[in-house]
Amino acid sequence: MIDKIFLNMTRTSALLILFIVAWIFVVLFNHSIEAMQTFGFDFITKDEWAPNLEKFGAYAAIFGSVASTFLAMLLAIPVAIGVAIFLSEIAHDKIKGFFGVSVELLAAIPSVIYGMWGLFFFVPILRDIFGGMGIGLLAAGIVLAIMILPFMAAVTRDAMNTTPDILKESAYALGGTQWDVIKDIIIPYAKAGIIGSLILALGRAIGETMAVTFVMGNVHHTPKTILDPTTSIPVTLANEFTEADSSLYFSSLFGLALTLLVMSFVVIAIAKFYFLRKVRKGQ
């Protein structure tokens, strides 16, 4: 009797996850129908966002999300791989433990703090170097890169650590240098895991709100240069959600949220199911 109740309680909790996820999609979809009906495909291809005229085109926000994430990945990937190699192959055991833990702890620092640092300490430097406001796509890309770096380095290191020692030792026995072992043994062996980890980090970066809200500018224009202020989907949501005053405005914001959710779901699913599953099967 109690056995049955216990089973049912745990099963209901587990099914609740599926239910919530489905519910999120349904709710976001329902609320964005009005915008979709009004604008159709123009919603994602036009960049005119004028609440006073009831015109909502999300292209600038979508472009800003993609561009800032791309920029962040461009900057973070080489450094993260370098850090991962350092942590898994180069560093002395004692340093490894200390740096390894500090990298993981840094990944836990709230992203809003990266945003504050960006606004008060990094944007002025950019302003001095490039002129202009300092706030914009470049600042967002760099702050995002720094924010995602600890997570990316930690998961990439974990992927590299799956390489069996025996493979590495055989390569050393043949006279390989450390770099030979890294380039010809570890990276080929852990390739799927490394790519999966990098994409997973990308999935996190694309939905990141607080690190970029401070430094992006929230201007609905597709930027002409990397220094121009622009916006992204999460930045628009964070700035405008509580200000929306018409149902079409709301509906457009829900449309943005749905777009973002679909984008990140696809990215994360590719990382998990295509690359990281390969790793699990390989083991």
Partner 1 sequence: MTATQKRIIINRIALGFSTLSAIIALAFLFWILGVLVMKGVDSLSWSIFMFEGSPPGYAESGLKHALVGQLILVGLATLIGVPLGIMAGTYLSEYGKNSKLAHTIRDISDIMMSAPSIVIGAFVYAVVVMPMGHFSAWAGAIALAIIMIPIILRTTDDMLQLVPGTLREAAFALGAPKYKVIMDVVYRGAKAGILTGVLLGIARVGGETAPLLFTSFNDNFFTTDLNEAMPSLTVTMFNYAISPYDDWQQLGWAAAFILSMFILGLNIVGRLILLAGKRK
Site for partner 1 in 33-72 (CB under 8 A): none
Q: Identify the residue whose tokens are 């979809």.
A: 29
Q: Would you say 68 or 213 has its CB closer to partner 1?
A: 213
Please state, in angstroms and rounded to a whole number, the distance separating the CA atoms of residues 39 and 224: 25
- For the bound state, the minimum distance from the C-beta of residue 41 to partner 1, rounded and expressed in Å, comes to 22
Tokens of 160: 């590299």
Among 174, 242, 280, 283, binds partner 1 (CB under 8 A): 242
Q: Does 98 bind partner 1 (CB under 8 A)?
A: no
Which of 103, 82, 102, 101 is closest to 148 using CA atoms? 103
Binders of partner 1 among 111-140, rule CB under 8 A?
Answer: 111-117, 119-121
Q: Does 264 bind partner 1 (CB under 8 A)?
A: yes
Q: Would you say 53 or 283 has its CB closer to partner 1?
A: 283
* CB atoms inside a 10 Å sphere around CB 43: 22
DSSP 8-state secondary structure symbol assigned to residue 6: H
Q: Choose one: 20-28, 51-59, 126-134, 190-198; the region binding partner 1 (CB under 8 A).
A: 20-28
Among 123, 148, 234, 275, binds partner 1 (CB under 8 A): 234
Please count the residues of this chain forming the interface with partner 1, following the rule CB under 8 A. Answer: 88
Binders of partner 1 among 138-157, rule CB under 8 A?
Answer: 146, 149-150, 153
Q: Would you say 53 or 175 has its CB closer to partner 1?
A: 175
Phi/psi of residue 217, nearest 5 degrees: 110, -25
Please state, in angstroms and rounded to a whole number, the distance separating the CA atoms of residues 123 and 140: 10
User: Residue 133 burial (CB < 10 Å; 0-12/13-18/19+)?
Assistant: middle
Among 36, 42, 66, 86, binds partner 1 (CB under 8 A): 86
Please state, in angstroms and rounded to a whole number, the distance separating the CA atoms of residues 75 and 212: 15
Q: Would you say 60 or 199 has its CB closer to partner 1?
A: 199
* CB atoms inside a 10 Å sphere around CB 157: 26
Please state, in angstroms and rounded to a whole number, the distance separating the CA atoms of residues 251 and 261: 15
Q: Does 218 bind partner 1 (CB under 8 A)?
A: no
Q: Would you say 59 or 99 has its CB closer to partner 1?
A: 99
Q: Choose one: 40-48, 186-194, 222-230, 231-239; the region binding partner 1 (CB under 8 A).
A: 231-239
Among 72, 73, 144, 257, binds partner 1 (CB under 8 A): 257
Q: Does 251 bind partner 1 (CB under 8 A)?
A: no
**Could you give the 3-state DSSP secondary structure of residue 223?**
coil
184, 190, 191, 194 alpha-carbon torsion, rounded to 10°:
-130
